[in-house]
Amino acid sequence: MGKKKLLSKIAELEENIHDYEEAYVKECKSVESLQKENIELRRKIDALNAQIRTMGDAKKLFDEVKRWRDARNLIATNHNNVWDALTSAKARYKFMLEGLEPYFEKLENDIHALSDEFLIPFDKFSSSGCNQPVKRIKEWEERSAKNA
Protein backbone atom coordinates (compact mmCIF):
# COMPACT_ATOMS: atom_id res chain seq x y z
CA MET A 1 0.00 0.00 0.00
CA GLY A 2 1.28 3.37 -0.97
CA LYS A 3 1.51 6.51 1.03
CA LYS A 4 -1.31 8.18 -0.95
CA LYS A 5 -3.63 5.25 -0.37
CA LEU A 6 -2.89 5.31 3.35
CA LEU A 7 -3.50 9.05 3.55
CA SER A 8 -6.76 8.69 1.62
CA LYS A 9 -7.82 5.80 3.92
CA ILE A 10 -6.92 7.92 6.99
CA ALA A 11 -8.89 10.88 5.56
CA GLU A 12 -11.83 8.57 4.82
CA LEU A 13 -11.68 7.10 8.32
CA GLU A 14 -11.46 10.57 9.88
CA GLU A 15 -14.48 11.61 7.81
CA ASN A 16 -16.34 8.49 8.94
CA ILE A 17 -15.39 9.26 12.55
CA HIS A 18 -16.65 12.83 12.10
CA ASP A 19 -19.92 11.49 10.61
CA TYR A 20 -20.27 9.02 13.49
CA GLU A 21 -19.63 11.81 16.01
CA GLU A 22 -22.35 13.95 14.39
CA ALA A 23 -24.73 11.00 14.37
CA TYR A 24 -23.83 10.28 18.01
CA VAL A 25 -24.48 13.93 18.99
CA LYS A 26 -27.83 13.84 17.14
CA GLU A 27 -28.70 10.57 18.87
CA CYS A 28 -27.77 12.04 22.28
CA LYS A 29 -29.95 15.07 21.61
CA SER A 30 -32.74 12.76 20.52
CA VAL A 31 -32.34 10.71 23.72
CA GLU A 32 -32.33 13.90 25.82
CA SER A 33 -35.50 15.12 24.12
CA LEU A 34 -37.10 11.71 24.68
CA GLN A 35 -36.07 11.82 28.34
CA LYS A 36 -37.58 15.30 28.70
CA GLU A 37 -40.73 14.10 26.97
CA ASN A 38 -40.79 11.09 29.29
CA ILE A 39 -40.52 13.40 32.32
CA GLU A 40 -43.39 15.53 31.00
CA LEU A 41 -45.49 12.42 30.39
CA ARG A 42 -44.78 11.22 33.92
CA ARG A 43 -45.92 14.58 35.28
CA LYS A 44 -49.10 14.36 33.24
CA ILE A 45 -49.67 10.81 34.45
CA ASP A 46 -49.15 11.92 38.06
CA ALA A 47 -51.60 14.79 37.54
CA LEU A 48 -54.16 12.41 36.04
CA ASN A 49 -53.67 9.96 38.90
CA ALA A 50 -54.22 12.80 41.37
CA GLN A 51 -57.40 13.74 39.50
CA ILE A 52 -58.56 10.15 39.57
CA ARG A 53 -57.93 10.00 43.32
CA THR A 54 -59.89 13.20 43.89
CA MET A 55 -62.66 11.89 41.65
CA GLY A 56 -62.74 8.81 43.85
CA ASP A 57 -62.97 11.12 46.87
CA ALA A 58 -65.81 13.00 45.20
CA LYS A 59 -67.60 9.70 44.54
CA LYS A 60 -67.15 8.71 48.18
CA LEU A 61 -68.40 12.13 49.26
CA PHE A 62 -71.39 11.87 46.92
CA ASP A 63 -72.21 8.41 48.29
CA GLU A 64 -71.91 9.71 51.87
CA VAL A 65 -74.18 12.68 51.12
CA LYS A 66 -76.65 10.35 49.42
CA ARG A 67 -76.63 8.11 52.48
CA TRP A 68 -77.27 11.11 54.77
CA ARG A 69 -79.99 12.41 52.44
CA ASP A 70 -81.68 9.01 52.50
CA ALA A 71 -81.41 8.94 56.30
CA ARG A 72 -82.86 12.45 56.50
CA ASN A 73 -85.79 11.44 54.29
CA LEU A 74 -86.38 8.33 56.39
CA ILE A 75 -86.35 10.40 59.60
CA ALA A 76 -88.79 12.90 58.05
CA THR A 77 -91.06 10.07 56.92
CA ASN A 78 -90.98 8.44 60.35
CA HIS A 79 -91.63 11.80 61.99
CA ASN A 80 -94.64 12.35 59.75
CA ASN A 81 -95.94 8.85 60.46
CA VAL A 82 -95.61 9.33 64.22
CA TRP A 83 -97.18 12.77 63.95
CA ASP A 84 -100.11 11.40 61.94
CA ALA A 85 -100.63 8.55 64.39
CA LEU A 86 -100.49 10.94 67.35
CA THR A 87 -102.99 13.42 65.89
CA SER A 88 -105.25 10.57 64.78
CA ALA A 89 -105.22 9.02 68.25
CA LYS A 90 -105.71 12.41 69.84
CA ALA A 91 -108.74 13.13 67.62
CA ARG A 92 -110.23 9.66 67.99
CA TYR A 93 -109.87 9.38 71.76
CA LYS A 94 -110.39 13.04 72.61
CA PHE A 95 -113.07 12.25 75.17
CA MET A 96 -110.66 9.94 77.05
CA LEU A 97 -107.74 12.38 77.06
CA GLU A 98 -109.30 15.37 78.77
CA GLY A 99 -106.81 15.46 81.63
CA LEU A 100 -103.82 14.43 79.55
CA GLU A 101 -103.60 17.50 77.27
CA PRO A 102 -100.36 18.83 78.85
CA TYR A 103 -98.69 15.45 78.42
CA PHE A 104 -99.68 15.33 74.76
CA GLU A 105 -98.33 18.84 74.25
CA LYS A 106 -95.03 17.80 75.83
CA LEU A 107 -94.98 14.68 73.66
CA GLU A 108 -95.60 16.79 70.55
CA ASN A 109 -92.81 19.19 71.53
CA ASP A 110 -90.45 16.28 72.20
CA ILE A 111 -91.24 14.73 68.82
CA HIS A 112 -90.57 18.05 67.11
CA ALA A 113 -87.34 18.56 69.06
CA LEU A 114 -86.12 15.06 68.29
CA SER A 115 -86.77 15.32 64.58
CA ASP A 116 -85.33 18.85 64.51
CA GLU A 117 -82.04 17.58 65.93
CA PHE A 118 -81.60 15.59 62.72
CA LEU A 119 -83.51 17.54 60.11
CA ILE A 120 -82.56 21.17 60.76
CA PRO A 121 -78.76 20.74 60.64
CA PHE A 122 -79.04 18.76 57.42
CA ASP A 123 -81.52 21.16 55.84
CA LYS A 124 -79.60 24.21 56.98
CA PHE A 125 -76.54 23.26 54.95
CA SER A 126 -78.35 21.77 51.96
CA SER A 127 -78.65 23.59 48.67
CA SER A 128 -82.43 23.93 48.96
CA GLY A 129 -82.20 25.57 52.38
CA CYS A 130 -84.12 24.92 55.55
CA ASN A 131 -87.87 24.56 55.17
CA GLN A 132 -88.70 24.30 58.87
CA PRO A 133 -90.64 27.09 60.60
CA VAL A 134 -88.43 29.93 61.86
CA LYS A 135 -89.65 29.43 65.43
CA ARG A 136 -88.48 25.80 65.45
CA ILE A 137 -85.13 26.77 63.91
CA LYS A 138 -84.56 29.36 66.65
CA GLU A 139 -85.52 26.84 69.34
CA TRP A 140 -83.07 24.35 67.83
CA GLU A 141 -80.30 26.98 67.73
CA GLU A 142 -80.94 27.84 71.39
CA ARG A 143 -80.83 24.17 72.39
CA SER A 144 -77.64 23.66 70.39
CA ALA A 145 -76.01 26.71 71.96
CA LYS A 146 -77.04 25.52 75.42
CA ASN A 147 -75.64 22.01 74.81
CA ALA A 148 -72.38 23.26 73.27
Phi, psi of 126 (to 5 degrees): -85, 165
DSSP state of 132: S
Answer yes or no: are the C-beta atoms of 124 and 144 closer than 8 Å.
Answer: no
- Neighbouring CB atoms inside 10 A of 146's CB total 7
Banded pLDDT at 60 (limits 50, 70, 90):
confident
Average pLDDT over residues 111-123: 78
Q: Which amino acid, 102?
A: P
Degrees, nearest 5: CA angle 20-26-31 = 120
What's the chain's average pLDDT?
A: 82
